[in-house]
Structure 1
Amino acid sequence: MPLLLSDRATTAAPVPLVTVGEARAFGIRIRTTAFVRIRPGIYADRTAYEALKPWERYAVRVHAFVRAHPDAALCLESAAVVHGLPLFGETRDIHVHSPERPRSRRFGDVAVHTSEDERVLERRGGVLVTSLLDTVADLGRALPPARALAVFDAALSPAQGGPLSLGRLRGLGASRVSSRGSARQRWLWEHADDRAESPAESVSRAVIEWSGFPRPELQRVFHYEGAEDRVDFHFPGSRVIGEADGWGKYGFEDPDAAAERLIEEKRREDRLRRHGHPFGRWDLADAWRVTPLQRALTTAGVAYARPADPVMLHTLQDRRRDAPRRSPGAFAARETRS
């Protein structure tokens, strides 16, 4: 089953946070190697923190910031954590919206943004954030195209619990005074699709286009042997089916249920193959690396329809908004209070 925005929404830190005052009150020794400093005066269990996925570590950092600054309004990727919008890797900065400031500023790993355009603020789980509509529109202008496409698709897709419409996003984008990222925004308006059921599908769709493959049908349904089988991508010219696999697709957090889903998926694939549909499979990591996805499709029998777009493919390597590989303490040490 597709993950919903509500499933991904993180309205509390994924691991418990402990302040210096709490540690003193309860006799917890946090100034040891068993704890890691997330922000000045805020710690977490090191083992639990280091076991998290990169985007979960970012969520810990976001909620540690909120713990220290409960009235700050989160925006961009920081608001995306609370809304459940898809993120990839660990974001470098904590993003805060502060319209009162005369200009945007940075304080260590905290980027404080201002704008002529008004943002709607709301509380989600007690956390103050820009609205889902504003957050999606802002990320569409700021993120590299494939990541932004995954955000737009998720916000539009009923299968992912997305409540927005493309018309609302167009209307908001067209009304903005700032022209920053407007070309990227127009590209998203043309390519966002509410049929996408996962971020892996969204990124894969971008890579398929930029690689020069023919445009596939999305979520095509086949009826064979009394079954109804829906597929991620179908290439009518070659009858090839493309599937963007991911852990969430099979529910590996429940081993018994996952085993049953894998068995059913094998039956489904065999059934489709019996009726003349070659298969190409890849996962999200394959899509980011491009070549494995291309190889999966060409091996299955999909021919290129046009030259690749090297400029757009190069945007997949854009890591400017990602955190450098260092300890969270390094972020904490760089923070200066405004």
Structure 2
Amino acid sequence: MSESLARTARAAPVELYRVRDAVAGAPTLRAGGLHHRVRAGTYAPRAAWDRLKPWERYLARVHAYALVNPGALFAYESAASLLGLPLFGEPRDIHVFELGRTKSRRFGDVFVHTRTDAPDTVTLGGLTMTSASDTAVSLMRVLPAPFGLAVGDAAISPVQGGSATLDGLERVAERQANPRGRTLLFLLLATVDARSESPGESVGRSVIIWSGFEPPELQREFHAEGFTDRPDYAWQSVRAIAESDGYEKYRAETREETVRRVIREKKREDRLRRQCDAFGRWDMAAAMAVAPVVRELERLRVPRIGAPRTFLLSTMRSNSRSFPEGKHRKRDEPPSST
């Protein structure tokens, strides 16, 4: 056993119903178009399903699989979804380990893995999955490098709920026998930072570093007017500050609270601008496009200190482990009954 990101696994984001549990004489879940088939024999209310974000749909699919396979050992993105580690889009497959199997195999949308070393596992809320360290290390081997960095950061970042340590990640990495992605894994282990406070911040940092720019100082404290502000990135060498924007932090239940949050952030930005010579912002979409962030760094006069390693960034645009943006498994695509 090892550490986890939470005291319990993340709950399904939508109610799930099994056909075999329907009360005799009740309207069938298959009729009327009121329910979405999550997988064979398992449905969710369509209105609620249609409101889910891609990573929430995936978490629901994992829980639907667990309903009919309660002894499953979840791994990779499936374990990450239950532990609260970052996901990027909606992963294509449910990932499980079957210890003792001699060869990995896919059954529909379920990928059954094997490995020669015993995975480090945790059981939370009745579900068993690889631990945070084991899951992070496994994903750092196979995801596009910036996404792998975000997973590694999240696993050790207290702000993101991480309870793993860099030493723990390194021990798991040394113990895993799988040679796949080993070079990338150790490059990422040398780059992870517990001060990262969001996946967007981690992806942005990967663009900065692997585009050849001077690495930023993360969450440096700036004191002014009775406030302490910690921007995402700071470069003392050129007195520059930059922020990785996530718009969810501005959204609230009421319009008035949303306005208050926007005003609060504007005042914070004004304080920071008075303490630097250049200030910039970008969001996740800009970071994944790379070029907008590079232009912003050039405008901020952040120095280049090395040659770009663009091959590490190019894979963000073609993450084969998730569905393309805006797409997911079709309702009538036969899901695995495994």
Structure 2 gaps of 5+ residues are: none
What residue is the counterpart of 1:329 in the other structure? 331
Pair 1:10–1:274, CA change in 2 (3 A): same
Following superposition, the deviation at residue 247 of structure 1 comes to: 2.9
Residue 303 of structure 1, CA deviation: 4.8
Report if the CA contact (8 A) 1:195-1:219 is conserved. Answer: yes
- Displacement, 1:24? 4.6
What's the offset of the Cα at 1:66? 0.6
1:36–1:328 contact (8 Å) kept in structure 2 = no
How many residues are paired up?
332
User: Residue type of the partner of 1:154?
Assistant: A
- Equivalent residues of 1:149, 1:188 under 8 A apart: yes
More displaced stretch, 309-318 vs 204-213: 309-318
- Give the stretch that moved more between structures: 213-222 or 92-101: 213-222
**Residues 144 and 313 of structure 2 are in contact (CA less than 8 Å); yes or no, is this contact kept in structure 1?**
no
Partners of 1:221 and 1:257 in 2: CA distance: 26
Q: Is the 8 A contact 2:5 2:132 kept in 1?
A: no
Matched, 1:244 2:244: yes
- Residues 279 and 5 of structure 1: CA distance in aligned 2, closer, same or farther (over 3 Å): farther
TM-score normalised by L of structure 2 = 0.91
Residue 305 of structure 1 deviates from its aligned partner by 4.0
What CA distance in whole angstroms lies between the structure 2 residues aligned with 1:150 and 1:111? 23
How many Å separate the matches in 2 of 1:141 and 1:326? 24
Deviation of the 1:265 alpha carbon: 1.7
Structure 1 unmatched ranges of 5 or more: none
Q: TM-score, normalised by structure 1?
A: 0.91
Report the Cα distance in structure 1 between the residues aligned to 2:196 and 2:28, rounded to whole angstroms.
47
- Using the alignment, how far apart are the partners of 1:28 and 1:221 within structure 2? 59
**What one-letter code is carried by the residue in structure 1 that aligns with 2:112?**
V
Q: Which moved more, 1:63-72 or 1:212-221?
A: 212-221
Do structure 1's residue 183 and structure 2's residue 177 form an aligned pair? no
Aligned counterpart, 1:16: 15
CA-CA distance at 1:291 after TM superposition? 2.1
Aligned partner of 2:62 in structure 1 is 62
1:52 is aligned to 52
Report the CA distance shift for 1:142/1:327 in structure 2 as closer, same or farther (over 3 A). closer
Q: In the alignment, what sits opposite 1:149?
A: 149
d(CA) in 1 for partners of 2:239, 2:46: 50
AA aligned opposite 1:323: F
Residue 125 of structure 2 is matched in structure 1 by: 125
**Cα distance change on mapping 1:282 and 1:55 into 2, 3 Å:** same
Tell me the equivalent position of 2:115: 115
Deviation at 1:290, TM superposition (A): 1.3
Q: Distance in 1 between matches of 2:9 and 2:252?
A: 20
1:280 partner SS: strand
**Secondary structure, counterpart of 2:36 in structure 1:** strand
The percentage of counterpart residues that share the same residue type is 44
SS where residue 24 of structure 2 aligns? helix
Shift in CA distance, 6/296, structure 1 to aligned 2, threshold 3 Å: farther
Task: Give the secondary structure class of the aligned counterpart of 1:112.
Answer: strand
Inter-CA distance 49–26: structure 2 relative to 1 (3 Å threshold): farther
> What is the correspondence of 1:1-338 to structure 2 with a 5 Å cutoff?
6=6, 11-25=10-24, 27-31=26-30, 32-250=32-250, 252-253=252-253, 255-323=255-323, 325-331=327-333, 333-337=334-338
Bigger mean CA deviation after superposition, 48-57 or 302-311: 302-311
The 3 A distance-change label for structure 1 pair 82 and 173 is same
Q: Deviations over 1:190-244 (max 9, x none)?
A: 1000110111111100011122222111111112233222111012232111100
Q: Is the 8 A contact 1:93 1:323 kept in 2?
A: no
> How many Å separate the matches in 1 of 2:337 and 2:18?
18
- Indicate if the aligned counterparts of 1:139 and 1:148 stay in contact, CA closer than 8 A: yes
> RMSD of aligned C-alpha atoms?
2.2
SS at match of 2:22: helix
1:282-314 CA distance string (max 9 Å, x none)? 111211111222233333443544443221121
More helix by share: 1
SS at match of 1:313: helix
**TM superposition shift of 1:122:** 2.5
Which amino acid is 2:27 matched to? I
* 3-state secondary structure, aligned to 1:266: helix
CA contact (8 A) 2:38 2:61 kept: yes
2:215 partner SS: coil
User: Is the 8 Å Cα contact of residues 37 and 328 (structure 1) preserved in structure 2?
Assistant: no
Match of 2:283, as an amino acid? D
Q: Distance in 2 between matches of 1:175 and 1:327?
A: 35
**SS state at 1:158 partner:** coil
Counterpart Cα distance in 2 of 1:131 and 1:328: 31
CA contact (8 A) 1:5 1:154 kept: no
The letter for the 2-side match of 1:137 is V
**Matching residue's letter, 2:40:** P
Asked if 2 retains the 8 angstrom alpha-carbon contact of 1:80 and 1:135, the reply is yes
Q: 1:253 to 1:321 in 2, by over 3 A?
A: farther
Query: Residue 180 of structure 2 aligns to which amino acid in structure 1?
Result: R
